[in-house]
A and B are shown apart, each in its own frame.
Chain A
Amino acid sequence: QLQLQESGPGLVKPSETLSLSCTVSGGSISSNSYFCDWIRQPPGKGLEWIGSNYYSGDTYYNPSLKSRVTISADTSKKEVSLRLTSVTAADTAVYYCARHHTGWDWYFDLWGRGTLVTVSS
């Protein structure tokens, strides 16, 4: 059964770079039907879409984060990575990777369990 697992440091200092990985097990993300997005949720708040790395290699980012975010995919390693630079306390959140199903409709049909990243000195 396909599973997604986020990993990375749980604590990042202000102004530094947040780096997370999403590892796919039990299947592949190298498909015309799926790719992986990153989504985050600050404590006690709602969901915020961060960005997508399409199977074509094209990337799309939330305009509010675009200048600081990079999402890349290594299909051979079954891994999707997130980099967010110049972090502040406002970037403290649970970060999820989610499989984006494509077709006549696009939706997030599988989510990782999420990983909490705290930005603090």
Chain B
Amino acid sequence: SSEMTQDPALSVALGQTVRITCQGDNLRNYYASWYQQKPGQAPVLVIFGNNNRPSGIPDRFSGSNSGNTVSLTITGAQAEDEADYYCNSRDSGGDHWVFGGGTRLTVL
């Protein structure tokens, strides 16, 4: 099994840019996806394949990767982006899946 580490909490001023990161050795070998979860709701896919946006996700959401770190960037954060964000990828063995601990994003 692998661990993926996220900052527990971040804040961003309305309209500013925030980067949410996820670190793990498994990320050197496998793609990551990102999920947004608002209170009382199921998670929603916002990025897959490190940097691809599903249809319907605003283009202010983008993803990137470097070495053992993947990032989710929100450019021009909106009030509705306040949520928990989770990264996900395969573990180092490739047959199991692991989530990061999640980052709670507050939009000020």
Contacts and interface: CB of A to CB of B under 8 A. Distances in A.
Contacts of A118: none
B58 interface: no
Contact of B102 (A47, A61, A64, A113): A47
Q: Interface on chain B toward A: helix, strand, loop, or mixed SS?
A: strand
A104 B50 CA distance: 12
A70 B42 CA distance: 23
A112 B95 CA distance: 23
A107 B45 contact: yes
A111 B90 CA distance: 18
Nearest to B98: A49
Contact of B88 (A60, A108, A112): A108
A48 interface: yes
A113 B42 contact: yes
Given A47-B37, A109-B54, A111-B42, 17 more contacts: A37-B97, A46-B99, A46-B100, A47-B35, A47-B86, A47-B99, A49-B88, A49-B96, A49-B98, A60-B95, A62-B96, A63-B1, A104-B49, A106-B31, A107-B49, A109-B45, A111-B44
A105 B49 contact: yes
B65 to A, nearest CB: 12
B96 A114 contact: no
A63 B49 CA distance: 25
A96 interface: yes
B95 to A, nearest CB: 5
